[in-house]
């Protein structure tokens, strides 16, 4: 049975998700919603003239979907998700869930009360190479040292998108939820403390926002996670992509070829992994992961999981707990920057 889906927000991720729904037989794409984005008209033509709307409430009323896909700016996530859930709709929700932990919990509790599915867009959870990377890291013992970053050199339209995002959220919050979620999976330990610093490197954003930040999170088992993120035309493309884990048993790293730092593929792209063993009797191993899904194929994997969650009634309690937990960590990092202190979780 097809799931009738309404896509709300058709920027980079929204367009990719719309294409995924359109391409796969499990979904029937019934509409596109964007208040100002002209891309919805182009996208509609690409998909055979699917209806377009400027208001999501009107779109829900007129299309009667079974589910909505929310790909708008983060400050609108909670409002739209709660409206959809209260209308009896399943929700695919791009990360982060909300701009506050309380907002994320309201979404989680409403979904549980209504017995509806909410899948959060943690695309790395569906990436075969990142799944392998996580399992290899878990095999290194405890504690772990986790080093990750994603600095994006952005110009033009992408820089404008980043500036729009920074009206409500910094890079280490918006992007960081992905990577601290991975850290929590790797350590399988409770985060206990966060310290972070940030810097405003441009006058094009408000004085109380920063476009570069780094955080350090410590875990109950002694593991330490470092994450760095920056947006803007000033960002370096040297060492912008670090994905490295060290443990008692050795280390595992994603080794990335050099290319431009603003490409959306760089959020998820891998090339090969290097597994190093502490034991000198064991040779280091190069693991080729070059035959991996591209960004569009990953979006399709995400949406197939969303369909499966609905039709197989998958229990998403842990999925939502994890999404709330990762949001809690990055918001604590933001608090740490603003208060210039360590934040205990």
3.30.70.1450, 3.20.20.70, 1.10.3720.10, 3.30.360.10: CATH of 124-295+327-344: 3.30.360.10
Residue ranges per structural domain of the chain? 3-120, 124-295+327-344
pLDDT the model gives residue 39: 79
> Which residues make Cβ contacts (< 8 Å) with residue 210, sequence separation at least 6?
170, 198, 199, 200, 201, 337
pLDDT the model gives residue 53: 95
Q: Supply the pTM of this predicted model.
A: 0.92
Burial class (CB in 10 A: 0-12, 13-18, 19+), 291: exposed
The CATH class of the 3-120 domain is alpha beta
The vertex-68 CA angle with 91 and 129, nearest 5°, equals 60
Tens digit of pLDDT at every position of the chain (345 positions): 899 999 999 998 999 999 999 999 999 999 999 987 677 888 999 999 999 999 999 999 999 999 999 999 999 999 999 999 999 999 999 999 999 999 999 999 999 999 999 999 999 999 999 999 999 999 999 999 999 999 999 999 999 999 999 999 999 999 999 999 999 999 999 999 999 999 999 999 999 999 999 999 999 999 999 999 999 999 998 888 899 999 999 999 998 655 444 454 554 556 789 999 999 999 999 998 877 899 999 999 999 999 999 999 999 999 999 999 999 999 999 999 999 999 999
Compute the distance between CA of residue 183 and CA of residue 21 in angstroms, rounded to an integer.
30
Q: Are 254 and 164 contacting, i.e. CB atoms less than 8 angstroms apart? A: no
Note the Cα 127 to chain centre separation in Å: 12
């Amino acid at each position: 049975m097809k799931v009738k889906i309404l896509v709300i927000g058709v920027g980079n991720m929204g367009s990719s998700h719309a294409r995924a729904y359109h391409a796969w037989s499990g979904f029937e794409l019934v509409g596109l919603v964007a208040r100002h984005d002209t891309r919805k008209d182009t996208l509609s033509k690409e998909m055979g003239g699917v209806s377009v709307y400027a208001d999501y409430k009107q779109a829900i009323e007129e299309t009667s979907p079974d589910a909505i896909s929310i790909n708008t700016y983060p400050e609108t996530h909670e409002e739209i998700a709660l409206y959809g859930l209260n209308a009896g709709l399943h929700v695919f929700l791009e990360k982060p869930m909300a701009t506050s932990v309380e907002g994320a919990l309201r979404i989680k509790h409403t979904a549980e009360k209504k017995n509806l599915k909410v899948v959060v867009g943690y695309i790395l959870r569906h990436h075969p190479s990142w799944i392998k990377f996580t399992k290899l890291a878990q095999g290194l013992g405890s504690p772990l040292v986790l080093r990750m970053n994603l600095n994006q050199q952005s110009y033009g339209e992408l820089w404008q998108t980043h500036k729009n995002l920074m009206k409500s959220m910094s890079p280490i919050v918006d992007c960081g939820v992905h990577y601290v979620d991975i850290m929590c999976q790797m350590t399988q330990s409770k985060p206990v403390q966060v310290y972070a610093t940030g810097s405003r490197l441009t006058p094009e954003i408000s004085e109380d926002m920063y476009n570069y930040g780094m955080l350090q999170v410590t875990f109950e088992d002694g593991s330490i996670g470092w994450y760095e993120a920056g947006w803007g035309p000033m960002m370096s493309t040297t060492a912008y992509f670090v994905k490295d884990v060290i443990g008692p048993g050795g280390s595992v790293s994603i080794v990335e070829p050099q290319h431009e730092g603003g490409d959306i593929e760089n959020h998820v792209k891998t090339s090969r992994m290097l597994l190093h063993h502490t034991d000198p009797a064991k040779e280091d191993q190069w693991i080729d992961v070059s035959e991996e899904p591209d960004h569009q194929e990953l979006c399709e994997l995400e949406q197939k999981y969303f369909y499966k969650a609905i039709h197989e009634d998958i229990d998403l309690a842990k999925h939502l707990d994890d999404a709330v937990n990762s949001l809690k960590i990055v918001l604590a990092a933001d608090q740490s920057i603003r208060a210039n202190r360590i934040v205990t979780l």
